[in-house]
Amino acid sequence: MATMKIPQALLNSGNLIPTLGFGTTTYPMPPPEQLTSILMDAVEAGYRHFDTAAPYGTEELRPDIAEGIQMFQPKSLKEVFSLARMRDDQLLRQQRFTRAPPINRHPLNLPSPVKSQTTVPMKRLTWEEMQRRRA
């Protein structure tokens, strides 16, 4: 098998990070053991990011990735990323969104199943009914 070099980007810290992830969606879906073998080949080729998702039907790869975590042990200290720093950055980002969720300034103009002309009389009639019952 010919080995290929995964493109990498230089981070501000001086570390290199792979710029490509390995997509796991295939059609038709191979058996799980074949998919695991493909995953192992991708790790040996240098991939470190794997895209698994329920719509792809590849969520069963998660245990294989978790069990095979020793595959991801770095060959040198340069490959090691500060996970604590990454975790702190992720927590800060999450806190920003929990305090003040992002506001969509440009909502999509999707067609509504309810015609706007019918909602106005309904609101008026509802208000009139509330006033009538209150009296």
Which residues are known catalytic residues? 56
Closest Cα to residue 56, out of 20, 37, 28, 19?
A: 28
Rounded to whole angstroms, the Cα distance separating 5 from 80 reads 19
Closest Cα to residue 67, out of 26, 36, 89?
A: 36
Q: DSSP characters for 90-121?
A: HHHHHHHHHHS----SS---PPPSS-HHHHHH
Q: To 5 degrees, how large is the angle CA 102–CA 105–CA 111?
A: 115
